[in-house]
Amino acid sequence: MVNIALSPLFHKNNHIIAISFKFDFAIKEYIKSVEGVKWSKTHKTFYIVHTVSNKQKLYQALRFKDWYVDYSALSSAKANIPKAQTKTLSIKLPYLEDSQQNNLEKFKKWMQQKRLSINTVNSYFEVTSFFLRYAQLKQQPITVRLVEQFNYDFIVRPNKSISYQNQCINGIKKYLDYIGTPLLSFDIERPKKPKKLPEVLSSDDVKNILDNIINLKHKTLLTLIYSAGLRIGEALKIRISDIDSKRMVIHIKSAKGNKDRYTLLSLKFLELLRLYYKTYKPKDYLFEGQNGGLYSTSSAQNILKKAAKKSNIKKPITLHTLRHSFATHLLENGTDIRYIQTLLGHSSPKTTMIYTHVSETSIRNIKNPFDNL
């Protein structure tokens, strides 16, 4: 397994995270592709400025590759984190005893056997590790009270997101399930996420973005995400055999919730795809990295960011905005909400109904009472 070590450094009057690994060209190219990562000639290491958002971005990129990440040096380096950038904790967690560490590794394998996604396994493994180290520090058995204390010290006090808080609770509950502890006695209430409407681009904005991408591979990838309404992870895992040009559908396999589905294959996209295939000749995955394997999520996000800037789009957008726009444009064109739910792979129609709140067509058709005065 690839081992990545993260450690704190001070470089050019900045607190940074140094990224160390045994040299491998493919690893080096992937690390370089992460947004914000730079090379230090002074320290002979890759690094990223030490902020909360950068750290989360780096963790996400490394988890995607399912590499082992040693960040113990960061956890114990309170003095090296700028107070203006993040709220640090005064608690220094002990290392797990060998027996607990071995049990934690077995927990990870147990989750993998349950066929949980790589991201879910890594997230639950990480939060459970923190929780068990916290329990070892407090020298207390696992109780609701201990979980509540952990929740306050490591989530509420540092003002971490509601999504992360729910993730932690889910991870701890999954561990309790693994060790056979009755979950009924651990009925911990999850905080509700704020209900925010998604950012949506107009059809003209999407066209401008795609027109401003010159690289054929980049254009094909972003066009696929929009024209099929895909999550970025789904787009990057598509294989050549998943494209069915006879039925004009794309087979999305083992998507969120480990579910398969079919979505639309655009005729215009198919023309672009054939040109891309003749040029790049991918062997397995439709979009492969420079040295084979999956293409980088962060690279795809950078492509969109640059194209949006060229298109003079000011609103904050991500790759998921293209998926939101696909769904909204279908709704505005009169597509039944149930079909949209199927194409997006939503389990509940409530998730899909959010697009009725951002559809311009439905809003424009409402007569404003002021106009009747």
Q: Residue 77: is its pLDDT beyond 50? A: no
Q: What is the pLDDT of residue 41?
A: 83
Best-predicted range by mean pLDDT among 38-52, 63-77, 303-317? Answer: 303-317
Instruction: Write the pLDDT tens digit of every residue in 102-152.
Output: 888 899 999 999 888 777 888 898 889 888 988 888 888 888 888 888 888
Spell out the alpha helix ranges (H) of the chain: 25-33, 52-64, 72-75, 98-113, 118-138, 144-151, 162-179, 203-211, 216-228, 232-236, 267-280, 297-310, 319-332, 337-344, 349-352, 360-364
Question: CB of 2 within 8 A of CB of 19?
Answer: no
Looking at the domain that runs over 98-186, which CATH code has it been given? Answer: 1.10.150.130
Q: For residues 163-192, give the mean pLDDT.
A: 76
Percent of the residues in the chain that have a pLDDT greater than 90, as a whole number: 30
- Reading the block at residue 362, the tokens are 């439905």
* Residue-level length of the chain: 373
Specify the pairing of strand 261-264 against strand 249-252: antiparallel
Instruction: Output the average pLDDT for the chain.
Output: 83
- Strand, helix or coil for residue 20: strand
> Any idea where the domains of the chain sit in the sequence?
3-80, 98-186, 203-363
Q: How is domain 203-363 classified at the CATH fold level?
A: hpI Integrase; Chain A (1.10.443)
Q: What is the DSSP letter of 157?
A: T
Catalytic residues: 231, 256, 320, 323, 346, 355
pTM score, whole prediction: 0.60
Percent of the residues in the chain that have a pLDDT greater than 70, as a whole number: 88
Give residue 222's pLDDT band: very low, low, confident or very high (50, 70, 90).
very high
Looking at the domain that runs over 3-80, which CATH code has it been given? Answer: 3.30.780
Q: What is the pLDDT of residue 296?
A: 79
Q: What is the pLDDT of residue 88?
A: 40
